[in-house]
């Protein structure tokens, strides 16, 4: 690391190990890098005073101005001369030529002022960038660096790097978890805002997954560590956010390409301004001064920082709100979305079937539910678990009854003997076969429930139907609101599902999506995303990050749900919503649109102010003062404009 810092000394590179704790910085005004600004400013003030006393051409003020130039600009000159030797014409090179030129033609005072203004603007730029990057440091400080661990019968506090997989971590109320793991003892509510952006605490009991950086609010927990310190969810988030901030956005790539041709063009223009008018009778000193001013105003600083500051700020803000955007390119593309396709199961719906209706045809409801639960205990089907859960919710004791001779009837249901009676539990098709037809009243009930997008299960015997149970995949709390917001934003919303048309239409109607596609296999979803891209250009796919991988990859932006719990979601998607909360989607689009707007404002303003200042050359009004204010003022304004992205909240 020392060798890399030394190699990058001309860029003032300062490195820190990925797992190293952020160093407590002294206040900005006390930082050593700012001392040169203070000292050179004092020399400048003294020189102004001396020039009033002795005149501008006297050795005393000139010596003072020279001292101010050398102290305030020595790092700038070092970079400038190095770049000049490599024929690399960047901001430092242009400033170096301009300041030395000003000294040669006797404009010592303006040269010194330009150096100090440049040093001040650099310091303010550093301050702004520090503010933008603090989002990463706040993430780094989320998880504690030590934890109380039990090994055998011994308890000890050790550093997270020394904790091993399988260790038992003891977390007291009010403490943060240092590692990811699984609860093996105790129950508590955990504030997971640091990871998922959700302020409502989540209740965790035995066998639940917990994350480093979350706050234990009330109970004592014992957690078995499942990941090493560098593999925890928060460590992955930090790593991915840092990678994302380093990745260049399309507009930044445009700026870099533009600056490559723009800077040499400015040098040629400045040379022509300095040389051509004097050849036709102009004053050499005056036009060389104009040429130097053009050189300063042409510095592409504002243009170069116009995009990265906005990207860094937006990605940091999103990470703090539980949304992981994996690069500037994805940030910009999200801001330009025209259509969003949603997977149904697990995205718009909870992905867990729940009992919605119970219709008793014959007998007592409680006893019939107990019989159904006793039979379904032996089944692995998701609908069986929905019935078991419903029986528990209704406080029906299901331990007293036992099912015997349990047999699965493939694709149709199950049968078993309870209290000596043979019962069947399964689909309407099973009972159509058993009874050679069905009573019209019961058939009406079944058709009505199916029209609502529900799956119907029947409990009965060989001779009669006793109970109808309707099960449906419940809509998520925020789905309807989120879809409504997206529709209001002018984004086309589509629901993709492998479910049948009838169920899909009902769920789609509840959600409020503008288009519904049902009976789709994974390859059909992929084909539809490609069609959508052809008609809308910029398309997002929202899925769970595991099943819909091909469609997520084919979309312009792949958005994965519940990134906190699945490594796959973190790895495969362009954007991961760290909690199972769709309401983060409109916030992410709003943030991206705002970032896109700010980047466009910054680029337009940077180029506009340059063009305006260069036009002042025509009447000969351009001065080094105006030039430095146009350049540095623009840089500060685009930086401050970008920092407005910190204010956007969910």
We report the CATH number of the domain holding residue 211 as 2.70.150.10
> What size, in residues, is the chain?
650
Q: Verify that 203 and 58 share a domain, yes or no.
A: no
User: Radius of gyration over alpha carbons of the chain, in Å?
Assistant: 34
**Domain contains 549:** yes
pLDDT tens digit string along 320-331?
A: 888 888 888 889
Q: How far apart are CA 162 and CA 181, in angstroms?
A: 15
Q: Verify that 493 and 577 share a domain, yes or no.
A: yes
Which of 141, 161, 180, 343 is flagged as catalytic?
343
| Pair 308, 640: CB distance under 8 Å | no
Q: Verify that 566 and 599 share a domain, yes or no.
A: no
User: Which residue range(s) make up the domain with 381?
Assistant: 352-474
**Domain contains 272:** yes
**Which residue from 138, 156, 131 is spatially nearest to 146, judged by alpha carbons?**
156
Residues 6+ apart with CB under 8 A from 643: 128, 131, 132, 309, 313
Specify the 3-state DSSP secondary structure of 509: helix
Q: Which of 433, 455, 474 is the last residue of a domain?
A: 474
pLDDT tens digit string along 104-128?
A: 777 788 778 778 877 776 776 666 6
| Pair 240, 572: CB distance under 8 Å | no
Q: Verify that 43 and 120 share a domain, yes or no.
A: yes
Q: How far apart are CA 10 and CA 377, in angstroms?
A: 71
**Domain contains 605:** yes
**Domain contains 364:** yes
Three-state SS string across 253-318, please? HHHHHHHHHHHHHHHHHHHHHHHHHHHCCCCHHHHHHHHHHHHHHCCCHHHHHCCHHHHHHHHHHH
Q: Verify that 26 and 90 share a domain, yes or no.
A: yes
Q: Which of 536, 555, 585 is the last residue of a domain?
A: 585
Say what the pLDDT of residue 587 is.
93
Domain CATH code at residue 546: 3.40.50.1000
Q: Verify that 133 and 250 share a domain, yes or no.
A: yes
Q: Verify that 306 and 337 share a domain, yes or no.
A: no
Cβ atoms within 10 A of the Cβ of 339, count?
Answer: 23
- The beta-carbon contacts of 502-506 under 8 Å, at least 24 apart in sequence, are 502/450, 502/451, 502/453, 503/453, 503/454, 503/455, 504/344, 504/453, 505/453, 506/451, 506/452, 506/453
Which segments of the chain have a pLDDT < 50?
10
| Pair 626, 614: CB distance under 8 Å | no
Q: Specify the DSSP element, H or E, that contains 635.
A: helix 624-643
Q: Which of 445, 474, 503 is the last residue of a domain?
A: 474
**Domain contains 2:** no
Q: Verify that 510 and 606 share a domain, yes or no.
A: no
* CA angle (597 as vertex; 593, 599 as ends), nearest 5: 115
**Which residue from 370, 403, 383, 402 is spatially nearest to 457, judged by alpha carbons?**
383
Specify the 3-state DSSP secondary structure of 638: helix
**Domain contains 524:** yes
Q: Strand pairing of 413-418 and 421-426?
A: antiparallel
Q: Verify that 509 and 437 share a domain, yes or no.
A: no
Q: Verify that 28 and 44 share a domain, yes or no.
A: yes
Q: E strands along 303-442, which residues?
A: 323-325, 339-343, 349-360, 403-409, 413-418, 421-426
pTM of the model: 0.68
Query: Would you call 473 a catalytic residue per the annotation?
Result: no
Q: Verify that 470 and 482 share a domain, yes or no.
A: no
Q: Verify that 419 and 432 share a domain, yes or no.
A: yes
- The b-or-e profile of 230-260 (16+ CB within 10 A means b, else e) is eebbbbbbbebbbebbebbbebbeebeeebe
**Domain contains 455:** yes
**Domain contains 643:** yes
The count of structural domains within the chain is 4
């Amino acid at each position: 690391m020392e060798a890399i810092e030394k190699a990058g000394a001309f860029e003032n590179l300062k490195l820190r190990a990925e797992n190293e704790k952020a160093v407590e910085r002294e206040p900005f005004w006390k930082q050593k890098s700012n001392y040169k600004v203070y000292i050179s400013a004092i020399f400048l003030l003294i020189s102004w005073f001396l020039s009033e006393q002795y005149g501008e051409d006297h050795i005393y003020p000139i010596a003072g101005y020279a001292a101010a130039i050398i102290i305030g600009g020595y790092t700038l000159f070092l970079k400038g001369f190095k770049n000049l030797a490599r024929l690399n014409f960047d901001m430092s090179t242009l400033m170096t030529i301009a300041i030395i030129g000003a000294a040669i033609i006797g404009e010592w005072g303006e040269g010194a002022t330009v150096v100090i203004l440049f040093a001040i603007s650099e310091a303010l730029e550093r301050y702004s960038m520090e503010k933008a990057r603090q989002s990463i440091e706040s993430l780094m400080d989320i998880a504690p660096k030590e934890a109380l661990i039990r090994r055998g019968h011994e308890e000890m506090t050790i550093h997270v790097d020394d904790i091993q997989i399988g260790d038992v971590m003891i977390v007291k109320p009010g403490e943060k978890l240092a590692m990811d793991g699984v609860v093996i003892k105790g129950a508590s509510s955990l504030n997971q805002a640091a990871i998922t952006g959700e302020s409502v605490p989540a209740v965790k009991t035995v066998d639940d997954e917990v994350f480093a950086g979350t706050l234990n609010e009330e109970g004592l927990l014992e957690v078995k560590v499942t990941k090493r310190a560098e593999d925890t969810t928060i460590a992955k988030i930090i790593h991915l956010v840092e990678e994302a901030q380093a990745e260049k956005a399309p507009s930044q790539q445009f700026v870099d390409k533009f600056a490559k041709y723009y800077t040499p063009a400015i040098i040629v223009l400045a040379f022509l301004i300095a040389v051509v008018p004097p050849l036709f009778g102009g004053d050499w000193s005056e036009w060389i001064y104009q040429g130097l001013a053009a050189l300063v105003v042409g510095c592409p600083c504002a243009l170069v920082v116009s995009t990265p500051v906005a990207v860094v700020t937006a990605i940091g803000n999103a990470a703090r709100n539980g949304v992981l955007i994996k690069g500037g390119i994805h940030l910009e593309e999200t801001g330009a979305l025209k259509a969003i396709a949603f997977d149904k199961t697990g995205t718009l719906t909870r992905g867990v079937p729940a009992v919605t209706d119970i219709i008793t045809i014959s007998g007592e409801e409680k006893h019939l539910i107990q019989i159904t639960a006793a039979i379904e205990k032996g089944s692995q089907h998701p609908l069986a678990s929905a019935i078991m859960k419903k029986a528990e919710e209704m406080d029906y004791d299901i331990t007293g009854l036992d099912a015997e001779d349990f047999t699965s009837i493939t694709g149709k249901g199950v049968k078993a003997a309870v209290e000596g009676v043979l019962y069947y539990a399964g689909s309407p098709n099973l009972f159509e076969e058993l009874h050679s037809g069905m009573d019209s009243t019961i058939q009406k009930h079944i058709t009505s429930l199916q029209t609502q997008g529900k799956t119907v299960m029947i409990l009965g015997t060989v001779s009669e139907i006793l109970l109808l149970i309707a099960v449906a995949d419940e809509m998520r709390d925020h789905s309807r609101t989120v879809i409504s917001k997206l529709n209001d934003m002018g984004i086309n919303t589509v629901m993709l599902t492998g479910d049948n048309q009838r169920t899909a239409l009902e769920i789609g109607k509840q959600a409020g999506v503008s288009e519904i596609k049902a009976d789709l296999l994974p390859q059909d979803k992929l084909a539809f995303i490609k069609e959508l891209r052809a008609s809308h250009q910029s398309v997002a796919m929202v899925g769970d990050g595991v099943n819909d991988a091909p469609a997520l990859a084919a979309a312009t932006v792949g958005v994965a749900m519940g990134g906190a719990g699945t490594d796959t979601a973190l790895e495969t998607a362009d954007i991961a919503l760290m909690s199972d909360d769709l309401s983060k989607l409109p916030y992410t689009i709003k943030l991206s649109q705002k970032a896109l707007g700010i980047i466009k404002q910054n680029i337009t303003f940077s180029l506009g102010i340059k063009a305006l200042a260069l036009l002042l050359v025509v009447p000969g009004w351009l001065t080094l003062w105006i030039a430095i204010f146009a350049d540095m003022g623009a840089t500060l304004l685009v930086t401050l404009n970008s920092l407005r992205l910190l204010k956007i909240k969910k």
